[in-house]
Amino acid sequence: MGTKRLDINTATVSEFEQLIGVGHLKAEAIIKQRKVLGGFQSVSDLGEVPGVGQSVIDLNRSQLCCNTSRRASRAIRVRNASQSSNGSPTRKCGSSRLRLKQLSVFKRSKSTPQAGKAKRLKVYSKQICENGVKIFRSRERILPKDSDKSEKLLISAKSVYDDGPSTSSSSNNSAADCCKALHESHRTLNECLSNQEDNYGEEELEMQEGEEEEEEERESIQGDVNSIRNDIERGDNTEEESNTSDVSDSVYSLLKRKELHNRLYPSGKRLLHSKLSSPQTTYGNLKRPLKRSGHPLHRQRIPSKEHPPPGLAEWLKQFQDWGNAERLMAVDELIHLCEPTQVRHMMQVIEPQFQRDFISLLPKELALYVLSFLEPKSLLQAAQTCRYWRVLAEDNLLWREKCREESIDEPLVFGSNSRLRRRQPSPKSPWKSLYMRQHQIEQNWRTGPLRLPKLLKGHDDHVITCLEFCGYRVVSGSDDNTLKVWSALTGKCLRTLVGHTGGVWSSQMQGNVIISGSTDRTLKVWNADTGVCTHTLYGHTSTVRCMHLCGNKVVSGSRDATLRVWNVETGQCLHVLMGHVAAVRCVQYDGRRVVSGAYDYMVKVWDPETETCLHTLQGHTNRVYSLQFDGVHIVSGSLDTSIRVWDVENGQCLHTLVGHQSLTSGLELKDNILVSGNADSTVKVWDITTGQCLQTLQGSNKHQSAVTCLQFNKKFVITSSDDGTVKIWDLKSGEFLRNLVTLESGGSGGVVWRVRCSNTKLVCAVGSRNGTEETKLLVLDFDVEEKKDKMPIIERAQDWSYPGLIGTRLELPKPHRHKTGATLAS
């Protein structure tokens, strides 16, 4: 059973949308055209709809039909009549077109009486002339004033039918006069429209397909018009029908033109002439529009370099003759007059002129010099630009300079094991790898997850009085008369140094040499590798409270108010420095000068070779507890809450740093930056060249008790306190970053006594004075995690208080077991 076909005279918009190649817009256009025409006579009439071509008709022909039965025609006429009551111009045109179709049917009919034809002719011709007059009046905005002649001709033709005689011969003459008047009006209209085309240029409306069907229809109409014209000239019996058809076809072309104008420009804008909708000559000559000269109009040519617009050369010449100021003004005005699309075009032309890869055009040495001004982060971004930029941005010497700017030490050293070196792939830029590793380490300190610390338990419940950290070894001294050597890698106690008969209160470590001072009034020199006590230094008559090791010499200060200079290798006392009248609490030695602070409120500068006191620095009003000395400046901290900066050469006090409220228990000095920790629970950062306080590390996250120890480098400050916490701060901004250690017994007796830091590790000595916290060492690791298949790499990092030795690595030496002078750990 066949499918039901779609009747194009009754189908709705939604039904037309189901056809192939017909969307919503085309479906509405079909309905609109159907209303204009008063109904389709065949499926081929769809070709008159703009956008519906022959190809669309062929694809859907098997699904379409055109029902032209009397009932369908009557339904269409009733629908159009009801719609025409609303006064729509397009519906009137459709009604006129229906009457034209009826006239053509009437012309072909041979059985209708002559009198009926004459009567209907008069009625229809009168209405057609009225519509013609309305068409001319609707074009008043685009037609010149001389078009009044054409309008008068149509009005006169209308009057002929209003007052014409009733006889057949008179009707024939009247129809002939009316036809001539319409022809003359049509010719005048075409001339006016042609003049408008000359003024406005050729602006053609390009229709999609349907041209062949329209052309055939017009050729058919022109043939009918020509045959009717010949009948009028011969004056035969069919003159009346010929006049009727001629008038119908002439006015039909006018109506169709008006209908297309209303569809394209509903607001009354000027008409765009189309080769499909604007007949240019009388009786439907549908060829291409002609100029007055008779030559066809051509599409306006797009300007190009070969065909520039007129006047461009003169404008450019004038622009070249102007100076810089005039050119800039002209460009500003030109940009102001341009539309957004034109400004966008200018941007597309101008931007590539500034996107030159000048780095690739420079010699490599100059290119590297330019890149050396970039920050490391910018260098990494530049490496992603192209291959050549990547080669330049990974230059080893370039990254060496970046490492030196950040005080990052030499690249990694893996030792003398050639087998190990072969297993390690050499990176393209070792310095870049080192920089990236250091950057990752800094991020670990700041925000990285805290790994489970290693617990180094020892010294029972005694107080850890001194702490040293060098390389992979940690040395702790206690009032239990012993020192212990620990492995920072494994957390195991390597050996216990036994020999003192009193509590150990001071120590120093350099390489594999350990020196300790005790309440037994002696100093001992130990070999860290073997645990052997190589020398016992006698001479002091009271507790050795402080010492400082430099090279192969160590200077010790005692409660006996004297200082002694010792040779570590031989154990000989080289010099005795006498001058203080109270216990010496702190000492510094740079290999040339000795600086000491004592409980007599004095700071003294010594020449150890001559054993003379060069300067006595007076100004403190209470005991001096801490000292720092960089070879130029001396910084002393006292119980009088002040910190003083002195000149080592002349002994003058340069600055008095005031701000703390209690004892300054710890000082650290590097590159003219001083960090001080105080018993008032605050930490301050100073510039000793100006005496200005740069930062105060306090706020809601500050310590809740006295600061016991501190360490700092160029990025961070590490502080410990009696409140059982270790905090990390940003040196430049003073911002609190986070807590690195928080004891559960903090605030109830738990204390962090000492902290020592390397580039990647933090060692804390913790305990309590009331037994609430077990005495132990905590080792926190912030290093970059190595791959499992790599051999362990040992770090040779000095305490943060000794710059220049951070970041390098040494091969792990093989441990030796000795029975004398040390107790080996199991």
521-555 pLDDT, tens digit each: 999 999 999 999 999 999 999 999 999 999 999 99
pLDDT at 47: 81
pLDDT at 62: 82
Strands 594-598 and 794-796: unpaired
Distance between CA atoms of residues 286 and 276, nearest Å: 8
Helix %, strand %, coil % of the chain (to 5) = 35, 25, 40
pLDDT at 86: 44
Nearest to 625 by CA among 608, 647, 646, 642: 642
Residue type, 515: I
Vertex 22 angle, CA 17 and 27, to 5°: 60
Distance between CA atoms of residues 493 and 826, nearest Å: 8
- What pLDDT band is residue 268 in, cutting at 50, 70 and 90? very low
Q: Which residues contact 755 (CB under 8 A, 6 or more apart)?
A: 467, 709, 710, 711, 718, 719, 720, 726, 762, 763, 764, 765
* Residues of the chain above pLDDT 90, percent: 45
pLDDT at 154: 53
Nearest to 698 by CA among 684, 718, 712, 714: 684
pLDDT at 233: 53
Distance from CA of residue 308 to its chain's centroid? 42
Could you tell me the end-to-end alpha-carbon distance of the chain, in angstroms, rounded to an integer? 102
Residue 139 has pLDDT above 60, yes or no: no
Task: Tell me the per-residue pLDDT of 628-678, one tens digit each, with 9 for 90 and over.
Answer: 999 999 999 999 999 999 999 999 999 999 999 999 989 999 999 999 999
Stretch (H or E) spanning 713: none
What 3-state DSSP class applies to 645?
A: strand
Stretch 30-50: mean pLDDT, rounded? Answer: 83
Residue 559 has pLDDT above 50, yes or no: yes
Distance between CA atoms of residues 772 and 770, nearest Å: 6
Strands 750-757 and 584-589: unpaired
Q: Which residues contact 798 (CB under 8 A, 6 or more apart)?
A: 470, 758, 804, 805, 806
Helix/strand/coil (H/E/C) assignment for every residue in 492-534: CEEEEEECCCCCEEEEEEECCEEEEEECCCCEEEEECCCCCEE
Residue 321 · residue 223 · CB < 8 Å: no
Question: Looking at the chain, how many residues does it have?
Answer: 826
Stretch 82-100: mean pLDDT, rounded? Answer: 42
Strands 603-607 and 612-617: antiparallel
Least confident of 137-146, 315-324, 752-761: 137-146
pLDDT at 90: 39
Stretch 202-206: mean pLDDT, rounded? Answer: 42
- What pLDDT band is residue 747 in, cutting at 50, 70 and 90? confident
Residue 446 · residue 486 · CB < 8 Å: no
Residue 111 has pLDDT above 50, yes or no: no
Residue 567 has pLDDT above 70, yes or no: yes
Average pLDDT, rounded, for the chain: 75
Task: Tell me the per-residue pLDDT of 808-820, one tens digit each, with 9 for 90 and over.
Answer: 233 333 333 333 3
pLDDT at 27: 85
pLDDT at 31: 87
Task: Tell me the per-residue pLDDT of 514-523, one tens digit each, with 9 for 90 and over.
Answer: 999 999 999 9
DSSP class of 185: H
- What pLDDT band is residue 80 in, cutting at 50, 70 and 90? low
Stretch 71-87: mean pLDDT, rounded? Answer: 50
State the CATH architecture for 358-414+428-438. Answer: Up-down Bundle (1.20)
Tell me the two tokens of residue 373.
């001004």
Distance between CA atoms of residues 362 and 570, nearest Å: 61
Stretch 159-173: mean pLDDT, rounded? Answer: 47
Stretch (H or E) spanning 550: strand 544-550
pLDDT at 705: 93
pLDDT at 59: 79
Residue 220 has pLDDT above 50, yes or no: yes
Tell me the two tokens of residue 465.
């009085």
pLDDT at 811: 31
CB atoms within 10 A of CB 17: 15
Stretch (H or E) spanning 432: helix 430-446
Residue 243 has pLDDT above 50, yes or no: no
Beta strands, E only, 698-820: 707-712, 716-721, 725-730, 736-742, 750-757, 761-768, 776-781, 794-796, 808-810
Residue 703 has pLDDT above 90, yes or no: yes
Angle at which helices 114-138 and 168-200 pack, to 10 degrees? 20
Distance between CA atoms of residues 812 and 792, nearest Å: 9
- What pLDDT band is residue 19 in, cutting at 50, 70 and 90? confident
Single pTM value for the model: 0.56
Stretch (H or E) spanning 361: helix 358-361
